[in-house]
Amino acid sequence: MERFYDVVVVGAGHAGCEAAHASSKLGAKTLLLALNLDTIAYMPCNPAVGGPAKSHLVKEIDALGGLMGVAADATYLQLKTLNSSKGPAVRSLRAQSDKKEYSMWVKSHLENIPNLDIYQCMVTRLIVDESSQIPRVTGIETHLGEIIHSKAVIITTGTFLAGKVHVGLKSSTAGRAGEFASFGLTDSLVSYGFETKRLKTGTPPRLDGRTINFSILEKHYGDDKPSFFSFLPDRPQRQQYPCHLTRTNEKTHEVILNNLDKSPIYAGIIECVGPRYCPSIEDKVVRFKDKPSHHLFLEPEGRHTNEIYLQGCSTSLPIEIQWQIVRSLPGLESAIIIRPAYAVEYDYFPGTQFTRSLMSKGINGLFIAGQVLGTSGYEEAAAQGIVAGINALKYVRDLEPIIFERNSSYIGTLVDDLVSKEMNEPYRMLTSRSEYRLLLRQDNADQRLTPLGREIGFVDDFRWEHFNKKMEKIKSEKSRLEKTKIQPASEIHKILKKYNQEIEEPITLLELLKRPEVTYECIKELSNCVISDIPEFEIETEIKYEGYINRQLQQISQQDKFEKIKIPAGLDFNQFVHLSNEAREKLSKIRPITIGQASRIGGVSPADIAVLLSSLNSRNKKQSEKVLIG
């Protein structure tokens, strides 16, 4: 039977689920393909969502109308705000998730979306029409020989392309432990001229919680009044579970150092690079020899299982060494491993082969997202998925793609980095990667992106109404703070003294709130009206950091001038003799579409940008003169 779709999504991890959700919700007839329908939206590594910079991505996905934030809120075991003592730009939310519940929640949600079909199979070949000037995708072929026709295809295969799992010096083909790898698709893409490379990642052992002595371990609880990922109201209140902390010690380090020759990385069996910001335990011990111990967190994997995730202990050492490592740890002297740790290496496609819409530069209608694009983390994958899903729909309808800019979202920063910079290791989102992080806080993601989600057609009436009510409350509260003055009276002095403050003349509440030491608790005590159900932190941040925010807005205004200068498609950069050789090579390979994007390419210096600007101005002037003469 012949099957026809607007969009086919290959892979049902976090990227694939967001992509399929986006394209189908926006009206495209969509097919989501999974190697195993029981592992849709699976968490093969850490059973958690969010964390530094990653929570910003989850909040942005939610602000647009995506899935991850709502799913995380529905299935959390613990919610905790991180970096609460630091500035607002780096504060983040992290959820310890129920791994099984999260996967089941997403699968159930996707199964009930109109326009979306789900199918279990392996894709082995991309079908491309090469008769036009630029080839275009027309469908896929499965391992069973089925041809499925499609106007757009999104590749979100995670770690499954030619995946190989390593435990010690033994290896086997697998996308992750216990699951098949995917073969054929890499060869198909390479045949169309795509460059492919290898990366590796890994996971720690899982333990039987009944065999751990939690009583001697340090407990870490969630927030008493938890925040949530989704901006929707009435988030579910659930029982929270603690995590526990243990630490490596001299014995642990001795075991690791004495067995490095049995590690596939140190033995040279794995030659590709793993994630720098999530190193294996052997890497930590070798690279940080001055540290006597490293933190390891014991995190529950679900409400209905005793399985415990040993966070921070990723390794590919042999299983007998893993037992020695685990039992050298305080509280784990009698612990039983129920799933061994392992490393997995897999094929990925460097992002410089794709545009900022995540469509291939060489094949129209072919999109990519997730770990297969060289990233690490569920959140990074999901963020790319929503971009690819939206733009696949735009392509199918012959509309201009949606380009997420660096100055308005972490999603824009992520995508721009991936397609503009050559990465040699798995990419992880960090707050330091954004030049505008004070503007791109997690708390104001809806202010930045919900109007765009509404414009795209992704934000429904309920979310839009809730968003507008919130914005009205912010406006009303700011107006109240600006108009309300307090006098240097005895009652006022008594309240201010509690916060180590004093005033000598009348002052508005807004002016008072600008003081670094003054919090909203003080403002509420000084107010004559009941203040409730307003985004206090958001308002306080905007008022306190107004000067810094305005400075970043000026920087954005200056950078926007570069973003608006388009580079003609097909421009021959080799004609500009004053560009450095490296700049010519990088510009020809990446083919940026604006001067702004060109300025962020590694190897392209400010001097090269000046040459490029001058050359483009001269070129445009000559073209204008030709038009006038003609």
Q: Which domains does the chain have, with CATH numbers?
A: 3-157+184-202+346-455 (3.50.50.60), 206-342 (2.40.30.260), 460-551 (1.10.10.1800), 565-629 (1.10.150.570)
Tens of pLDDT along 496-553?
A: 998 899 898 999 999 999 998 898 889 988 887 767 788 999 999 999 999 989 999 9
Using the predicted structure, report yes or no on whether residue 160 has a pLDDT greater than 90: no
DSSP string over 33-101: EES-GGGTT--SS-SEEE-TTHHHHHHHHHHHT-SHHHHHHHSEEEEEEESTTS-TTT-EEEEEE-HHH
* Stretch 218-226: mean pLDDT: 95
Q: Is 628 exposed, middle or buried (0-12, 13-18, 19+ CB in 10 A)?
A: exposed
Task: Give the model's confidence band at 627: pLDDT under 50 very low, under 70 low, under 90 confident, else very high.
Answer: very low
Residue 313, SS3?
Answer: coil
| Cβ(191)–Cβ(410) below 8 Å | no
- Do 324 and 122 meet the contact criterion of CB atoms below 8 Å apart? no
Strands 48-50, 92-97: pairing kind: antiparallel
**What is the pLDDT, as a whole number, of residue 320?**
97
pLDDT score recorded for residue 624: 53
Task: Write the DSSP string, 107-119.
Answer: HHHHHT-TTEEEE
What number is the average pLDDT over the span 353-357?
Answer: 96
Beta strands in 83-196 (DSSP E): 92-97, 116-120, 123-129, 136-142, 147-155, 164-167, 170-173
Q: Per-residue pLDDT tens for 428-478?
A: 999 999 999 999 999 999 999 999 999 999 999 999 999 999 999 999 999
Whether 542 and 549 have beta carbons less than 8 Å apart is answered as yes
Given a contact cutoff of 8 angstroms between Cβ atoms, the answer to whether 331 and 201 are in contact is: no
Residue 622, pLDDT score: 61
Q: Return mean pLDDT, the chain.
A: 92
**Distance between CA atoms of residues 53 and 429, nearest Å:** 6
**Considering the entire predicted model, what is its pTM?**
0.93
pLDDT tens for residues 561-591? 888 888 888 888 888 888 898 888 889 888 8
The mean pLDDT value for 102-129 works out to 97
Please name every residue paired with 345 in a beta bridge, in sequence order, or none if there are none: 164, 200
Please report the pLDDT score of residue 525 as a whole number.
Answer: 87
User: Which residues, other chains included, contact 29 with Cβ-Cβ below 8 Å and sequence gap of 6+?
Assistant: 4, 5, 6, 7, 115
